[in-house]
Amino acid sequence: MQAPVDHTFAASLPQLARQYWSLTKPRVTQLALFCAVIGMLLSTPQLPPLALVVKATIGIWLLAGAAFAVNSIIERHIDAKMARTRMRPLAAGELSPSAAIVFSGLIGGAGMWVLYTQVNALTMWLTFATFVGYAVVYTVLLKPYTPQNIVIGGMSGAMPPVLGWAAITDSAPAQAWLLALIIFVWTPPHFWSLALYRLDDYRRSGLPMLPVTHGLRITQLHILLYTLVLVATTLLPFAIAMAGLVYLTAALLLGAGFIAFAWRLYRRYSDALARATFNYSIVYLAALFGALLIDKYLNA
Protein backbone atom coordinates (compact mmCIF):
# COMPACT_ATOMS: atom_id res chain seq x y z
CA MET A 1 0.00 0.00 0.00
CA GLN A 2 1.42 3.40 -1.00
CA ALA A 3 2.19 5.79 1.84
CA PRO A 4 0.10 8.98 1.84
CA VAL A 5 1.77 12.16 0.60
CA ASP A 6 2.11 14.95 3.15
CA HIS A 7 0.66 17.77 1.04
CA THR A 8 0.97 20.25 3.90
CA PHE A 9 4.72 19.71 4.09
CA ALA A 10 5.06 19.84 0.30
CA ALA A 11 3.11 23.09 0.15
CA SER A 12 5.30 24.60 2.85
CA LEU A 13 8.55 23.94 1.00
CA PRO A 14 8.31 27.02 -1.29
CA GLN A 15 7.51 29.20 1.71
CA LEU A 16 10.44 27.75 3.66
CA ALA A 17 12.75 28.34 0.70
CA ARG A 18 11.59 31.98 0.50
CA GLN A 19 12.31 32.42 4.21
CA TYR A 20 15.86 31.13 3.90
CA TRP A 21 16.34 33.13 0.72
CA SER A 22 15.26 36.31 2.51
CA LEU A 23 17.91 35.69 5.19
CA THR A 24 20.55 36.41 2.54
CA LYS A 25 19.05 39.89 1.91
CA PRO A 26 19.03 39.35 -1.87
CA ARG A 27 18.45 42.98 -2.88
CA VAL A 28 21.50 44.15 -0.95
CA THR A 29 23.52 41.18 -2.16
CA GLN A 30 22.72 41.95 -5.80
CA LEU A 31 24.39 45.37 -5.66
CA ALA A 32 27.42 43.91 -3.84
CA LEU A 33 27.79 41.16 -6.44
CA PHE A 34 27.43 43.68 -9.25
CA CYS A 35 30.35 45.67 -7.80
CA ALA A 36 32.37 42.47 -7.35
CA VAL A 37 31.83 41.48 -10.99
CA ILE A 38 32.82 44.99 -12.10
CA GLY A 39 36.05 44.50 -10.13
CA MET A 40 36.62 41.21 -11.95
CA LEU A 41 36.05 42.77 -15.37
CA LEU A 42 38.28 45.77 -14.66
CA SER A 43 41.13 43.68 -13.28
CA THR A 44 42.58 42.53 -16.62
CA PRO A 45 42.86 44.06 -20.11
CA GLN A 46 41.06 41.06 -21.58
CA LEU A 47 37.80 39.45 -20.53
CA PRO A 48 38.48 37.13 -17.57
CA PRO A 49 37.59 33.42 -17.96
CA LEU A 50 33.83 33.03 -17.64
CA ALA A 51 34.13 29.90 -15.50
CA LEU A 52 36.31 31.75 -12.98
CA VAL A 53 33.90 34.69 -12.88
CA VAL A 54 31.00 32.32 -12.17
CA LYS A 55 32.85 30.41 -9.45
CA ALA A 56 34.05 33.59 -7.75
CA THR A 57 30.57 35.13 -7.88
CA ILE A 58 29.03 32.02 -6.33
CA GLY A 59 31.63 31.89 -3.56
CA ILE A 60 31.31 35.58 -2.72
CA TRP A 61 27.51 35.35 -2.78
CA LEU A 62 27.47 32.38 -0.41
CA LEU A 63 29.69 34.11 2.16
CA ALA A 64 27.77 37.38 1.81
CA GLY A 65 24.51 35.51 2.36
CA ALA A 66 25.98 33.84 5.44
CA ALA A 67 27.01 37.23 6.85
CA PHE A 68 23.53 38.66 6.30
CA ALA A 69 22.00 35.60 7.97
CA VAL A 70 24.20 36.12 11.04
CA ASN A 71 23.20 39.79 11.04
CA SER A 72 19.53 38.75 11.02
CA ILE A 73 20.11 36.38 13.95
CA ILE A 74 21.81 39.01 16.09
CA GLU A 75 19.34 41.78 15.22
CA ARG A 76 16.10 39.77 15.29
CA HIS A 77 14.81 41.57 18.40
CA ILE A 78 15.66 44.95 16.88
CA ASP A 79 14.10 43.96 13.55
CA ALA A 80 10.87 43.07 15.36
CA LYS A 81 10.51 46.69 16.52
CA MET A 82 10.86 48.25 13.08
CA ALA A 83 8.14 48.43 10.43
CA ARG A 84 10.72 47.99 7.67
CA THR A 85 12.11 44.74 9.10
CA ARG A 86 9.51 43.17 11.37
CA MET A 87 8.34 40.77 8.65
CA ARG A 88 11.78 39.20 8.29
CA PRO A 89 11.50 35.49 9.10
CA LEU A 90 13.52 35.57 12.32
CA ALA A 91 11.84 38.74 13.60
CA ALA A 92 8.43 37.28 12.79
CA GLY A 93 9.26 33.94 14.44
CA GLU A 94 8.92 31.98 11.20
CA LEU A 95 12.45 30.60 11.51
CA SER A 96 14.36 29.69 14.65
CA PRO A 97 17.80 31.18 15.41
CA SER A 98 19.27 27.67 15.50
CA ALA A 99 17.96 26.93 12.00
CA ALA A 100 19.41 30.21 10.75
CA ILE A 101 22.77 29.45 12.38
CA VAL A 102 22.92 26.07 10.66
CA PHE A 103 21.94 27.66 7.34
CA SER A 104 24.58 30.37 7.72
CA GLY A 105 27.25 27.83 8.62
CA LEU A 106 26.39 25.62 5.64
CA ILE A 107 26.39 28.32 2.98
CA GLY A 108 29.33 30.15 4.57
CA GLY A 109 31.38 26.96 4.65
CA ALA A 110 30.38 26.18 1.08
CA GLY A 111 31.43 29.67 0.03
CA MET A 112 34.85 29.32 1.64
CA TRP A 113 35.34 25.93 -0.02
CA VAL A 114 34.41 27.29 -3.45
CA LEU A 115 36.72 30.28 -3.12
CA TYR A 116 39.66 28.31 -1.70
CA THR A 117 39.52 25.36 -4.10
CA GLN A 118 38.08 26.94 -7.25
CA VAL A 119 39.36 30.54 -7.07
CA ASN A 120 42.31 31.34 -4.78
CA ALA A 121 43.18 31.57 -1.10
CA LEU A 122 43.56 35.37 -1.13
CA THR A 123 39.96 35.85 -2.24
CA MET A 124 38.74 33.40 0.39
CA TRP A 125 40.56 35.17 3.21
CA LEU A 126 39.54 38.65 2.04
CA THR A 127 35.91 37.52 1.77
CA PHE A 128 36.07 35.85 5.18
CA ALA A 129 37.52 39.06 6.65
CA THR A 130 34.60 40.93 5.10
CA PHE A 131 32.23 38.40 6.71
CA VAL A 132 33.79 39.05 10.13
CA GLY A 133 33.81 42.80 9.54
CA TYR A 134 30.10 42.91 8.78
CA ALA A 135 28.67 40.15 10.97
CA VAL A 136 30.80 40.82 14.05
CA VAL A 137 32.60 44.19 13.99
CA TYR A 138 29.76 46.20 12.44
CA THR A 139 26.71 44.33 13.76
CA VAL A 140 27.92 43.59 17.29
CA LEU A 141 30.54 46.22 18.12
CA LEU A 142 29.60 49.32 16.12
CA LYS A 143 25.95 49.49 15.16
CA PRO A 144 24.49 49.36 18.70
CA TYR A 145 27.00 51.78 20.24
CA THR A 146 27.99 54.66 17.97
CA PRO A 147 26.23 56.99 15.52
CA GLN A 148 29.34 56.63 13.35
CA ASN A 149 28.54 52.94 12.83
CA ILE A 150 27.84 53.44 9.13
CA VAL A 151 31.07 55.36 8.60
CA ILE A 152 33.42 52.99 10.44
CA GLY A 153 31.64 49.81 9.43
CA GLY A 154 31.34 50.91 5.83
CA MET A 155 34.65 49.26 4.93
CA SER A 156 33.13 45.79 5.01
CA GLY A 157 30.42 46.87 2.57
CA ALA A 158 33.04 48.50 0.35
CA MET A 159 35.03 45.31 -0.23
CA PRO A 160 33.23 43.65 -3.22
CA PRO A 161 35.39 45.26 -5.96
CA VAL A 162 38.54 44.16 -4.10
CA LEU A 163 37.17 40.63 -3.79
CA GLY A 164 36.35 40.53 -7.48
CA TRP A 165 39.74 41.90 -8.48
CA ALA A 166 41.55 39.39 -6.25
CA ALA A 167 39.50 36.53 -7.66
CA ILE A 168 40.85 37.09 -11.16
CA THR A 169 44.41 38.30 -10.51
CA ASP A 170 45.20 36.80 -7.08
CA SER A 171 46.20 40.32 -6.02
CA ALA A 172 44.61 43.45 -4.57
CA PRO A 173 46.37 46.49 -6.10
CA ALA A 174 45.71 50.18 -5.47
CA GLN A 175 43.13 50.39 -8.27
CA ALA A 176 40.94 47.82 -6.51
CA TRP A 177 41.17 49.70 -3.22
CA LEU A 178 40.24 52.93 -4.99
CA LEU A 179 36.98 51.30 -6.07
CA ALA A 180 36.46 50.27 -2.44
CA LEU A 181 37.15 53.85 -1.33
CA ILE A 182 34.38 55.12 -3.59
CA ILE A 183 31.87 52.72 -2.01
CA PHE A 184 33.20 53.56 1.46
CA VAL A 185 32.51 57.29 0.96
CA TRP A 186 29.18 56.56 -0.77
CA THR A 187 27.86 54.51 2.16
CA PRO A 188 27.13 57.29 4.71
CA PRO A 189 24.91 59.50 2.49
CA HIS A 190 23.22 56.36 1.18
CA PHE A 191 22.28 54.94 4.60
CA TRP A 192 21.66 58.26 6.36
CA SER A 193 19.07 59.11 3.70
CA LEU A 194 17.29 55.90 4.64
CA ALA A 195 17.65 56.65 8.35
CA LEU A 196 16.04 60.08 7.87
CA TYR A 197 12.76 58.87 6.44
CA ARG A 198 12.81 55.80 8.73
CA LEU A 199 13.53 57.93 11.81
CA ASP A 200 10.60 56.63 13.88
CA ASP A 201 11.71 53.07 13.16
CA TYR A 202 15.21 53.75 14.39
CA ARG A 203 13.93 55.51 17.48
CA ARG A 204 11.87 52.44 18.37
CA SER A 205 14.82 50.15 17.69
CA GLY A 206 17.12 51.94 20.15
CA LEU A 207 19.95 52.04 17.61
CA PRO A 208 22.07 55.23 17.85
CA MET A 209 21.72 56.28 14.22
CA LEU A 210 22.90 59.82 13.50
CA PRO A 211 19.43 61.42 13.04
CA VAL A 212 18.34 59.86 16.35
CA THR A 213 21.35 61.04 18.34
CA HIS A 214 22.10 64.37 16.62
CA GLY A 215 18.87 65.33 14.86
CA LEU A 216 17.74 65.87 11.30
CA ARG A 217 19.70 69.04 10.58
CA ILE A 218 23.10 67.61 11.46
CA THR A 219 22.34 64.49 9.43
CA GLN A 220 21.28 66.56 6.43
CA LEU A 221 24.55 68.51 6.64
CA HIS A 222 26.57 65.31 6.92
CA ILE A 223 24.84 63.91 3.83
CA LEU A 224 25.68 67.03 1.85
CA LEU A 225 29.33 67.10 2.97
CA TYR A 226 29.88 63.40 2.35
CA THR A 227 28.28 63.72 -1.08
CA LEU A 228 30.74 66.48 -1.99
CA VAL A 229 33.64 64.30 -0.81
CA LEU A 230 32.18 61.37 -2.75
CA VAL A 231 32.05 63.28 -6.02
CA ALA A 232 35.66 64.42 -5.53
CA THR A 233 36.68 60.81 -4.81
CA THR A 234 35.03 59.54 -7.99
CA LEU A 235 37.36 61.77 -10.03
CA LEU A 236 40.42 59.84 -8.84
CA PRO A 237 40.14 56.99 -11.39
CA PHE A 238 40.47 59.60 -14.14
CA ALA A 239 43.26 61.40 -12.29
CA ILE A 240 45.40 58.25 -12.12
CA ALA A 241 44.59 57.28 -15.72
CA MET A 242 42.55 54.27 -14.61
CA ALA A 243 39.61 55.62 -16.65
CA GLY A 244 39.07 58.08 -19.49
CA LEU A 245 36.74 60.85 -20.59
CA VAL A 246 33.66 58.65 -20.88
CA TYR A 247 33.90 57.76 -17.20
CA LEU A 248 34.80 61.33 -16.21
CA THR A 249 31.72 62.70 -17.97
CA ALA A 250 29.49 60.11 -16.32
CA ALA A 251 31.03 60.73 -12.89
CA LEU A 252 30.47 64.49 -13.17
CA LEU A 253 26.88 64.16 -14.40
CA LEU A 254 25.94 61.51 -11.86
CA GLY A 255 27.72 63.47 -9.13
CA ALA A 256 25.87 66.66 -10.05
CA GLY A 257 22.62 64.75 -9.65
CA PHE A 258 23.62 63.42 -6.23
CA ILE A 259 24.74 66.88 -5.06
CA ALA A 260 21.42 68.33 -6.25
CA PHE A 261 19.52 65.77 -4.16
CA ALA A 262 21.73 66.38 -1.11
CA TRP A 263 21.44 70.18 -1.43
CA ARG A 264 17.66 70.06 -1.73
CA LEU A 265 17.54 67.69 1.24
CA TYR A 266 19.64 70.14 3.26
CA ARG A 267 17.60 73.19 2.29
CA ARG A 268 14.08 71.81 2.63
CA TYR A 269 13.65 68.38 4.17
CA SER A 270 10.81 65.96 3.45
CA ASP A 271 10.50 62.21 3.88
CA ALA A 272 9.66 61.89 0.18
CA LEU A 273 12.87 63.69 -0.78
CA ALA A 274 14.95 61.57 1.62
CA ARG A 275 13.47 58.43 0.06
CA ALA A 276 14.18 59.77 -3.43
CA THR A 277 17.78 60.53 -2.40
CA PHE A 278 18.20 57.00 -1.06
CA ASN A 279 16.81 55.48 -4.26
CA TYR A 280 19.00 57.73 -6.42
CA SER A 281 22.09 56.68 -4.45
CA ILE A 282 21.55 53.06 -5.51
CA VAL A 283 21.13 53.99 -9.16
CA TYR A 284 24.13 56.32 -8.84
CA LEU A 285 26.54 53.63 -7.65
CA ALA A 286 25.42 51.08 -10.23
CA ALA A 287 25.64 53.64 -13.05
CA LEU A 288 29.04 54.91 -11.89
CA PHE A 289 30.56 51.43 -11.87
CA GLY A 290 28.83 50.65 -15.14
CA ALA A 291 30.45 53.75 -16.64
CA LEU A 292 33.87 52.50 -15.53
CA LEU A 293 33.26 49.29 -17.42
CA ILE A 294 31.94 51.00 -20.55
CA ASP A 295 34.90 53.37 -20.52
CA LYS A 296 37.34 50.47 -20.31
CA TYR A 297 35.95 48.62 -23.33
CA LEU A 298 35.46 51.75 -25.42
CA ASN A 299 39.13 52.61 -24.88
CA ALA A 300 40.42 49.05 -25.30
Could you report the per-residue pLDDT of 75-87, keeping only the tens digit for each? 898 888 888 888 8
pLDDT per residue, tens digit, the chain (300 aa), is: 444 444 344 448 788 888 888 888 888 888 899 999 999 999 998 899 999 999 999 999 999 999 999 988 988 988 888 888 888 888 888 888 899 999 999 999 999 999 999 999 999 999 999 999 988 888 888 888 888 888 887 888 899 999 999 999 999 999 999 999 999 999 999 999 999 999 998 888 888 899 999 999 999 999 999 999 999 999 999 999 999 999 999 999 999 999 999 999 999 999 999 999 999 999 999 999 999 999 998 886
Report the CATH architecture of 173-300.
Answer: Up-down Bundle (1.20)
Fold identical between 14-171 and 173-300?
A: no
Helix/strand/coil for 88: coil
**pLDDT score, position 5:** 42
Provide the residue count of the chain.
Answer: 300
Q: Can you tell me the distance from the alpha carbon of 256 to that of 243, in angstroms, rounded to the nearest whole number?
A: 19
Could you read off the pLDDT of 261-280 as tens digits, one per residue? 999 999 999 999 999 999 99
Per the rule left: phi > 0, alpha: psi between -120 and 50, beta: everything else, 4 is beta
C-beta atoms surrounding 186 within 10 Å:
25
Distance CA 91, CA 245 (A): 48
CA-based R_g, the chain, Å: 20
**Cβ-based burial of 136 (10 A; exposed 0-12, middle 13-18, buried ≥19):** middle
Between CA 212 and CA 203 the distance in angstroms is: 6
How far is the C-alpha of 199 from the C-alpha of 205, rounded, in Å? 10
| Domain definitions of the chain by residue range | 14-171, 173-300
pLDDT computed for residue 151 by the predictor: 83
What CATH homologous superfamily does 14-171 map to? UbiA prenyltransferase (1.10.357.140)
